[in-house]
Amino acid sequence: MPANYLVRRFAVFLIIVWAGATINFFMPRLAPVNPIRERLLQAVSFGGAGKTDMEAVVATYEAKFGLDQPLWKQYLRYIGDVARLDFGVSIANFPSRASDIILRALPWTLGLLTIATLIAFAIGTLLGALLAWPKSPALLHYLSAPLLALSAIPYYLLGLVLVFALGFTLRVFPLGGGFALGTLPNPSLSFAIDVVYHSIVPALSIVLSSVGFWALSMRGMMVTVQGEDYVNYAEARGLKSRDVFIRYAVRNALLPQTTSLALAMGYVVSGAVLVEVVFAYPGVGTVLFRAIQTFDYFVIYGVVVMVILAIALATLILDIVYPLLDPRIAYKR
Amino acid sequence: MTRPSFGAMARQQPQLTAGLVIVFLVVAFGPVGSVFVDTDLSRVGSAAANTSPSAEHPLGTDAAGRDLLAVMIAGTPLTLRIGFIAGAVGLGIGTLLGFIAGYFGGWIDTLIRGAADVLMTIPGLLFLVVLATSLQATVTVNMMALVVASLAWMIPTRTIRSQVLSMREAGYVQVARLSGLGDLEIIARELLPNLLPYLAASFVSAVGAAVLASIGLEALGLGPQNEPTLGMTIYWALYYTSLLRGIWWWWAPPIIMIVLIFVGLFLVSMGLDRIANPRMWKTP
């Protein structure tokens, strides 16, 4: 793999993270009043047991962001903090650091999202390929219509319906959460089973509502590939229709499909954040939801930067792996 | 040529026709419904709380005493308005940038394409969360639309740019250039008319994406708190744990309406795609 390509691709990764962090810095500052300061002062005037705590937060906040400093100095300091994943403290749960809260939730989100997306990608790609194959059973074409309709529904709304049907009415699955109430996360087998049991319905709602998207994009790719000369030539040579389908059409259509995976990442993550809210799943989405409700700005901004970082990393990995899969791509850009 | 009848259109473009019918019904639901139902009942405390569907309240009431049929009638047009404004603004910016990038190329193309690519990698919902939490004032429906529009231009920019790029070298554009037309004239007289089907399809997808983004923001509690939009109705239903309390008549109607909007827009954009992109005709 040429070092040139790696360097350039890594630069793109840095640009994405930098752009995300920069917008995250300037957007709140465009508002006429500084919302973070307002919120902190409000927490102080609220008084009570947390009063001295909040005064400490205000003091560290003012010192940390140096509001009397010029904007560019504040900005440089902020970028430095982002590089060290230091997002400050949680306002709602005072002594906890925002990065700790987020890092605790991240494995839940990554696990649920990775597994659900891979399952949906595999099923959808297979289905899309079969949809474009003239020899596939007619039954399949009837199946495709409801799946396409499902893909028009946002993940979390399907999740709501599934919780109602499977959790509330039939009572076969839990109503929410990541594990049974009263247990603590521990590395035992029974806990692992419990986690899987709690993840089935959230995962199902992501899979069901994204299969149609993958199927549709794979079908489009297959239509393009099937019009190529090499497919016509393979058919003219009298190769078995199944061989032409798998070895000539599917294999070539599969690769652009991987690119769609990288492009759809942002959409998938946005949807999954809301799925977690519906299921009270202990991931980043639920952390974000609670932070929004308590105006916990440091946690909100921390989640945004962390998720952008995770997505940029995932696309970086996909982009590095992709040319290994497809010899036609010669690491140009 | 005689005007094609509705039946002939339905046979030739079944997806487009079905989609247009669904979208029309959803759009008409608000204005027609408000003739028969008093939308003032969508205000908090206008009826007894948590009653199941009855003759007096056909869709029941929620925990804050809103009549849910009135909420749906008042809220559906608001959600559609957010979608249409955000979709139109997003498509407008996207078309402008796409034309500039595709037609003129060079460094400005690199800049626009780079910005669109970087912003597309980042989940828009999170940016909208930052933007919405930074706005101190109470969010209105129109502000909501502009917030969503701020991230609705990237996909139109990319698709229109690639279209312009391929059309720029087409024979008729070359002829127009040779016969002395200026850049603006070529764009207005040669490129834009040819792109109309694409623009229509892009507009429909942009509206769908904007509705999706606005409902996502609202479900997180970042929408117009005092307006009964579909997303805010879902937020309140989640907030008051209607799911666990079995108040299905609270969350089911907005979901059904949202699904109708998405399925309708999806069918229309698939139908328009078949018109704009004849290669798709091969597949059934």
Query: Looking at beta carbons, which residues of chain B come within 8 Å of A292?
Result: 129, 133, 220-222
Judged by a CB distance cut-off of 8 A, whether residue B26 touches chain A is no
Radius of gyration of chain A (CA): 24
Q: Enumerate residues 6 to 25 of chain A having a beta carbon within 8 A of any beta carbon in chain B.
A: 15-16, 19-20, 23-24
Q: What's the Cα-to-Cα distance from A261 to each of A118, A137, A319, B86, B167, rounded to whole Å?
A: 10, 27, 11, 26, 28
Per-residue pLDDT band at B85 (split at 50, 70, 90): very high
Judged by a CB distance cut-off of 8 A, whether residue B275 touches chain A is no
- Domain presence at residue B278: no
- Domain presence at residue B1: no
Bridge partners (DSSP) listed for residue A89 = A97
Task: Please name the member of A152, A157, A273 whose beta carbon is closest to the beta carbon of B255.
Answer: A157
Per-residue pLDDT band at A166 (split at 50, 70, 90): confident
Q: What percent of chain B has pLDDT over 70?
A: 93
For residue A245, pLDDT over 50 is answered with yes
pLDDT value at position A329? 59
Q: What percent of chain B has pLDDT over 90?
A: 9
Judged by a CB distance cut-off of 8 A, whether residue A31 touches chain B is yes
Per-residue pLDDT band at B93 (split at 50, 70, 90): very high
Judged by a CB distance cut-off of 8 A, whether residue A220 touches chain B is yes
**Residue ranges in B100-191 assigned as alpha helix (H):** 106-121, 124-134, 141-149, 154-168, 171-178, 183-185
For residue A95, pLDDT over 80 is answered with no
Judged by a CB distance cut-off of 8 A, whether residue A307 touches chain B is yes
Amino acid at A52: T
- Domain presence at residue B21: no
Mean pLDDT of A260-287: 81
Query: Looking at beta carbons, which residues of chain A come within 8 Å of B136?
Result: 31-33, 35, 38
pLDDT value at position B195? 83
Residue pair A41/A67 in contact by the 8 Å Cβ criterion = no
Per-residue pLDDT band at B166 (split at 50, 70, 90): confident
- Domain presence at residue B272: no
Per-residue pLDDT band at B88 (split at 50, 70, 90): very high
For residue A150, pLDDT over 90 is answered with no
- Domain presence at residue B193: yes
Domain around B190: 32-256
Q: In terms of Cα–Cα distance, which of B185, B200, B9, B194 is closest to B87? A: B200
Per-residue pLDDT band at B81 (split at 50, 70, 90): very high
Q: Which of A63-72, A129-138, A252-261 has the lowest mean pLDDT?
A: A63-72
List pLDDT tens digits, range A204-239.
888 988 888 888 888 888 888 887 888 888 888 888
Mean pLDDT of A18-47: 71
For residue A77, pLDDT over 90 is answered with no
We report the CATH number of the domain holding residue B105 as 1.10.3720.10
Task: Please name the member of B120, B259, B283 whose beta carbon is closest to the beta carbon of A132.
Answer: B283
**Interface contact flag, B238 A273, Cβ < 8 Å:** no
CA A272 – CA B216 distance, rounded (Å): 11
For residue A180, pLDDT over 60 is answered with yes
Range picked from A143-147, A281-285, B77-81 for highest mean pLDDT: B77-81
**Interface contact flag, A288 B220, Cβ < 8 Å:** yes
- Domain presence at residue B48: yes
Mean pLDDT of B134-161: 81
Six-digit token pair at B159? 């698709």
Judged by a CB distance cut-off of 8 A, whether residue A295 touches chain B is yes
**Interface contact flag, A312 B248, Cβ < 8 Å:** no
**CA A155-B124-A77 angle, 5° bins:** 135
Mean predicted lDDT score pLDDT of chain A = 79
pLDDT value at position B92? 92
> How many domains are contained in chain B?
1
Q: What percent of chain A has pLDDT over 90?
A: 2
Residue pair B98/B156 in contact by the 8 Å Cβ criterion = yes
Query: Looking at beta carbons, which residues of chain A come within 8 Å of B265?
Result: 152
Q: Whole-prediction pTM value?
A: 0.81
Judged by a CB distance cut-off of 8 A, whether residue B258 touches chain A is yes
Mean pLDDT of A317-330: 72
List pLDDT tens digits, range B112-125.
888 887 777 777 77
Q: Which of A125-134, B6-15, B82-91, B260-269 has the lowest mean pLDDT?
A: B6-15
pLDDT value at position A34? 65
For residue B186, pLDDT over 70 is answered with yes
- Domain presence at residue B283: no
- Domain presence at residue B276: no
**Residue pointed to by tokens 């034309």:** B99
Containing H/E element for A39?
Answer: helix A35-46
B232 CA: distance to closest CA in chain A (Å): 13
CA A179 – CA B19 distance, rounded (Å): 42
Q: What's the start-to-end Cα distance of chain B, in Å?
A: 27
Judged by a CB distance cut-off of 8 A, whether residue A146 touches chain B is no
Mean pLDDT of A22-46: 69
Per-residue pLDDT band at B282 (split at 50, 70, 90): very low
DSSP string of A228-282, one letter each residue: SHHHHHHHHTT--HHHIIIIIIIHHHHHHHHHHHHHHHHHHHHHHHHHHHHHT-S
**Interface contact flag, B136 A38, Cβ < 8 Å:** yes
**Interface contact flag, B122 A20, Cβ < 8 Å:** yes
CA A82 – CA A84 distance, rounded (Å): 5
pLDDT value at position B284? 42
Q: In terms of Cα–Cα distance, which of B223, B262, B188, B208 is closest to B88? A: B208
Per-residue pLDDT band at A66 (split at 50, 70, 90): low
pLDDT value at position B120? 77
Judged by a CB distance cut-off of 8 A, whether residue B278 touches chain A is no
**Interface contact flag, A157 B123, Cβ < 8 Å:** no
pLDDT value at position B174? 82
Per-residue pLDDT band at A48 (split at 50, 70, 90): low
Containing H/E element for A82?
Answer: helix A71-83
Q: What's the start-to-end Cα distance of chain A, in Å?
A: 12
For residue A321, pLDDT over 60 is answered with yes
CA B152 – CA B150 distance, rounded (Å): 6
Q: In terms of Cα–Cα distance, which of A55, A323, B127, A146 is closest to A332? A: A323
Q: Enumerate residues 112 to 141 of chain A having a beta carbon within 8 A of any beta carbon in chain B.
A: 131-132, 141
| Confidence check on the interface: ipTM exceeds 0.95, yes or no | no
CA A173 – CA A166 distance, rounded (Å): 6
Q: What's the Cα-to-Cα distance from B28 to each of A119, B73, B76, B233, rounded to whole Å?
A: 39, 10, 10, 20
